[in-house]
Amino acid sequence: MADGTDEDHELMAGIARGDAQAFRRLVDRHAGWGVGFVERMVGARADAEDLVQTAFLRVWQGAAKWERAARFRTWFYRVLYNLCMDHFRANAVPTEDLDEELPDGQPSVEERYASAQRADRVRAAISALPARQRAAIVLCYYQELSQADAAATLGVSEGALESLLSRGRESLRKSMQHELH
């Protein structure tokens, strides 16, 4: 399959047999986007790296129980999401440092400053959303998951995901309008 599902299934089968090489290959395939997702959720790279490491430990420990019918990527998003929720319960939710890349062009200092200010406001607004709305926004708009995969990750129906997205967008719109006035 083009999305790597078959290869992920083979790697998980190898991990279930204790194959460390298969585990390294799975980590290489998924660590980058996993850290990106978790960092957008929790707001700190070091915390994200720790949580992703914990997630991969769970993969290693639970590979024999993993159900082949599930897409690995969707299942792993769910593991990461659950770890983020555990992190939020154990720590105060950050209200800053939700990384957003600026364009690669050569804007002026004023343009870069204005852009950084907007990015800070967007990060703060996203961080202030309730965790489930934030997760829906990050999964669909930053991680570019399909609505079906995002809904599966969050353990909700597609209709419920649409509601989370709608409420999240409305909250962001109100927050950003408030910032501008």
Q: pLDDT digits over 42-93, tens only?
A: 888 999 999 999 999 999 998 888 877 678 888 899 999 999 888 888 875 4
Q: List the domain boundaries for the chain.
A: 1-94, 98-181
In the predicted model, what is the mean pLDDT of the chain? 84
Q: Tens digits of per-residue pLDDT, 141-178? A: 888 899 999 999 999 999 999 999 999 999 989 888 87
pTM of the model: 0.63
CA distances from 119 to 116, 138, 141, 142 (A): 5, 15, 15, 14
Contact 123, 41 (CB under 8 A): no
* Correct CATH for 98-181 of 2.30.30.60, 2.20.25.90, 1.10.10.10, 2.40.40.20: 1.10.10.10
Contact 98, 43 (CB under 8 A): yes
User: Two tokens at 92?
Assistant: 């105060």
Contact 134, 127 (CB under 8 A): yes
